[in-house]
Amino acid sequence: MPKVQTYSRTITNANILKVTVGTNGPCGGDSGHGGRVVFRLEDEASTDIRVRVIEPNGGNGGVEIILGGDAEAETFIEALEWAAKVLRAQQKLNDTMYAIDPNGNEVEDGGVVEVD
């Protein structure tokens, strides 16, 4: 199984949302080449979040993430922006040894996870 280094950040507003993200790519092609991306959202406090699995209909299916409230919208947007920066930095460096985000700020090291 491919291993992916992940990083986490907790975003606080009226709710608290934790985002964990990482990639081992680029790996030179589709998933058969071993490239993976991990994106995880966790409610740490008061986040109105729901997830719906979209069943496959000739494809692989998907997920729908629904957040309720203005604070949730703000923390979600911040999580997406931070996640994109981390993934871009990991793709460029791909040998990140330290838990530093693209802005040079220390972040919680989420560790290495094995993914399918």
> How does pLDDT run across 33-56, given as a tens digit for each residue?
888 999 999 999 999 999 999 998
- What percent of the chain is modeled with pLDDT above 90? 59
Residue 54 burial by Cβ neighbours in a 10 Å radius (0-12, 13-18, 19+) = exposed
pLDDT for position 112 = 61
- Find where tokens 């309720």 sit: 68
Report the SS3 class of residue 87. helix
CB 21 within 8 A of CB 39: yes
Q: Which residues of the chain have pLDDT under 50?
A: 95-99
**Containing structural domain, residue 110:** 3-114
The whole-number pLDDT of residue 2 equals 79
Residue 29 has what pLDDT?
81
The C-alpha atoms of residue 78 and residue 25 are separated, in whole angstroms, by 23
Number of domains in the chain: 1
* Predicted structure pTM score: 0.78
